[in-house]
Structure 1
C-alpha cells in the first residue's frame, strides 16, 4: 500500500470516528455522552441554545463547576459561510463571576448573564467586535433546540404604494403568560452608508432589547419598514439621486426620508394595536440609531399614541455629514413636543455620532421643551454604536425609567 493511500484511508477512518463521537443538533455538533437533560440544579449547570448575532446557531454546555467557580464549557456552533465558520465545537475554560459566566475562547470572550426567566443573556467580544444572543434552556434529549422565541409575520396595513397594498414584515416576541399585553415597538436603523442594497434585505432583530422587554411584560414588535427585510415596497429613506452613492446629506432629501419612515411607523402602530393580544392605549417606542431618533420624532408628532420613548444611539445622519447637525436638530425639535419623559442612551466612541454631537442635539431637544434624560456609557469593545448589545450597562437605567412610567 502506498504511503499516500495509507494517509487517505487513515484520514477517512479518523473523520468517521469523529463523526461517530458527535451528535447533530439541528446543524450544531456536540460530543456524545453529555447529560441527556439539562439539570439546572446549579446557577449554570446544563445546556442552552440560541442565535448569536441573530443568525449563528450556538449551543453552550456548562460542565464541571468547581467550588472556586472555575468550570469548563462546550462552545458549539453551526455553519455561517458569511462569517467564515464551519460547524464545530470546542471545550474552553470558564469561570463564574457573580451572576455571570465568562468563557474565554480563541481570540474572544463570551459573558453569559442568567436572568430570572432562566434564559442567558450573552455578549461576545473579539477586539472591537461586539455581538449578542439570548440562549434558552436546552434538553439535550430533544433533537431540535429552541433557537429563538421570535415569530416572523407579514402584517397588512392601509398603506399603498403605486396602487399596491404594502404589508410589513414584523418580528414579534410575546411573554409566556396570558395577554393582552402592552405593546413595545423597536425601530431599526439605516444600512450603514446605504451603498449596499443587499443589507436592506436583512431582517433586524435585537435579542437583548426583546428579552428585556418581554421580561417586563411587553409584547415586542420589530417592524421592517418599506423595502427592508421582507416588507413590501421600496426602501427609500433619503437616498442620493444616484442610489449607488448611498444616503444623501442634502437636508431636504434626508428629511423626506425621515417623513417616509414616520408614515410607515404610523401604519404599523395602526395595525398592531388592532391585535387581540395587544392592550389598548399608548405604546412604548424604542429604536436603535435611525430607529431611535425616529421614535423620538414620532412621539413629538403623535403624543397621544406614545407612552414613552427609549432612544438608543439615535440620529438620522452621521455627524460626518456636512448637514448632520441641521438634519438631526430638525427631528429632535419635532420630538420636543412630546410632553412625557424620554430616555436617550448613547455610547462613547460612536463612529456615527460623537459625544459632542449627541450632547448638542439633546441640548436642542431640551431648549425646545423636551423632557427626559441623556446618559452616555463606555461600551465594551470601544464601539459606542453597539450599545444595545451591552445589556448589563443599560438595563438598570431603563428599569428606573420604566418604573417611573408605570407610576403615571
Structure 2
C-alpha cells in the first residue's frame, strides 16, 4: 500500500507544472518563449522597506548565447536560487528570466544570427534579441504584484547587446538598462580576443546610441576574452557620441575569463556595488 501511495505521489509531482515558469508570446512571430518568474520573499526588503503585499519593481535578466549551436536547445532559465538572481531578489525586485527564440524548448529557427563573420549585421541581430526582451517586458508589466513602471533590464553578453538595442526603441515602462559584457561576434574562428569585423560592432553601437535615451550602465572586465577593454571603450564612445546615455565601468580581472563575471560564482560581490550605485543614482531605493 505504501508503495502504491509513493508511486502516486511521485507521479503527481512529475506532472505538477512549475509555477515559476511562464510562456510568453512574441508578437509578430507566431512563436512563444519560456521564462521564469522569481518573486522576493514575503517579509524581505523591498527598496528599503518590508514586503507588504504591494507591487514590487521588476528586473528582467537576459542570458547570453553559447558558442556551440547544439547547446542552445539545452538551455533553461536560471533558477531563483542563482547568485545573480538572488542579488536582485534580496533588494526587493521580482526577477523575470526569459529565454529567447531558438533557445530551450523553442525548436524554431534561431532568430539572432548576424550573418557571415566577414560582414555581420550586428544591429539587426540586436533588434531580434530586443524583440524578445520587449515581449518579456510587456508580459512582466501585466503580472499581478508587479509595478508596471520602472522596469530594469539587465543583459549579459548577447543579452546585454539586445538590451542596448531595446534601449534604442525607448520601450514603455523601462527605466534603465544594465549591460554586462554586451556584444556579439566574439571568439571569431575559435580564437580568444578575436571579434568578427569589430568595426561593425562599434558602428552598430553608434546606431543604437542615436535613439537610445535611457540611462545605461556598461560593465566590462580587464580579462574578458570576448570583448576586451579597448573594444568596450570604442563601443561606449560610439554609443555616447551618437547621443546615448551610458556610464562605462571598467572592472578588474575576474577568474579565468572576466566574461563570466555576471553569472560567475562570487561575481555579485564584484559587480554588486557598481550596480547598486547606478540604481541609487537613477532613483531606485535599495537597502
Structure-2 separation of matches of 1:361 and 1:171: 31
The equivalent of 2:60 in structure 1 is 185
1:64-75 equivalent positions in 2, closer than 5 A: none
Are residues 1:225 and 2:93 paired? no
- Structure 1 residues 360 and 185: alpha-carbon distance in aligned structure 2, compared to 1, 3 A threshold: same
- Structure 1 residues 230 and 338: alpha-carbon distance in aligned structure 2, compared to 1, 3 A threshold: same
SS at match of 1:276: coil
Q: Are the counterparts in 2 of residues 293 and 332 from structure 1 also a CA contact under 8 Å? A: no
CA offsets 1:257-311 (integer angstroms, 9 cap, x no match): 3222222222222222111121121411001011112112211212543200111
Q: Are the counterparts in 2 of residues 184 and 283 from structure 1 also a CA contact under 8 Å? A: yes
Structure-1 separation of matches of 2:75 and 2:146: 26
Q: Are the counterparts in 2 of residues 348 and 382 from structure 1 also a CA contact under 8 Å? A: no
Displacement, 1:356? Answer: 0.7
The equivalent of 1:114 in structure 2 is none
Displacement, 1:386? Answer: 1.3
Q: Are the counterparts in 2 of residues 186 and 221 from structure 1 also a CA contact under 8 Å? A: yes
SS at match of 1:251: coil
Displacement, 1:151? Answer: 5.6
- Structure 1 residues 407 and 199: alpha-carbon distance in aligned structure 2, compared to 1, 3 A threshold: closer
- Structure 1 residues 153 and 236: alpha-carbon distance in aligned structure 2, compared to 1, 3 A threshold: same
- Structure 1 residues 383 and 407: alpha-carbon distance in aligned structure 2, compared to 1, 3 A threshold: closer
Structure-1 separation of matches of 2:173 and 2:117: 30
The equivalent of 2:33 in structure 1 is 168
- Structure 1 residues 210 and 360: alpha-carbon distance in aligned structure 2, compared to 1, 3 A threshold: same
The equivalent of 1:119 in structure 2 is none
Q: Are the counterparts in 1 of residues 65 and 72 from structure 2 also a CA contact under 8 Å? A: no
Q: Are the counterparts in 2 of residues 292 and 312 from structure 1 also a CA contact under 8 Å? A: yes
**Which of 386, 389, 394 is equivalent to 2:260?**
386
Structure 1: gaps of 5 or more residues: 1-149, 241-246
Structure-2 separation of matches of 1:219 and 1:290: 22
The equivalent of 2:208 in structure 1 is 334
SS at match of 1:189: coil
**Which of 17, 21, 24 is equivalent to 1:156?**
24
Are residues 1:238 and 2:113 paired? yes
Most deviating of 351-360 and 229-238: 229-238
Query: Could you tell me the TM-score, scaled by structure 2's length?
Result: 0.77
Displacement, 1:359? Answer: 0.9
Query: Could you tell me the TM-score, scaled by structure 1's length?
Result: 0.55
The equivalent of 1:201 in structure 2 is 74
Q: Are the counterparts in 1 of residues 22 and 37 from structure 2 also a CA contact under 8 Å? A: no
1:230-309 equivalent positions in 2, closer than 5 A: 230-231=105-106, 233-238=108-113, 240=115, 248-252=117-121, 254-309=122-177
- Structure 1 residues 332 and 213: alpha-carbon distance in aligned structure 2, compared to 1, 3 A threshold: farther
Root-mean-square deviation (CA, aligned residues, Å) is: 2.5
Higher percent of residues as helix: 2
Aligned residues: 247
Structure-2 separation of matches of 1:378 and 1:182: 30
Higher percent of residues as strand: 1
SS at match of 1:406: coil
- Structure 1 residues 326 and 261: alpha-carbon distance in aligned structure 2, compared to 1, 3 A threshold: same
Are residues 1:368 and 2:245 paired? no
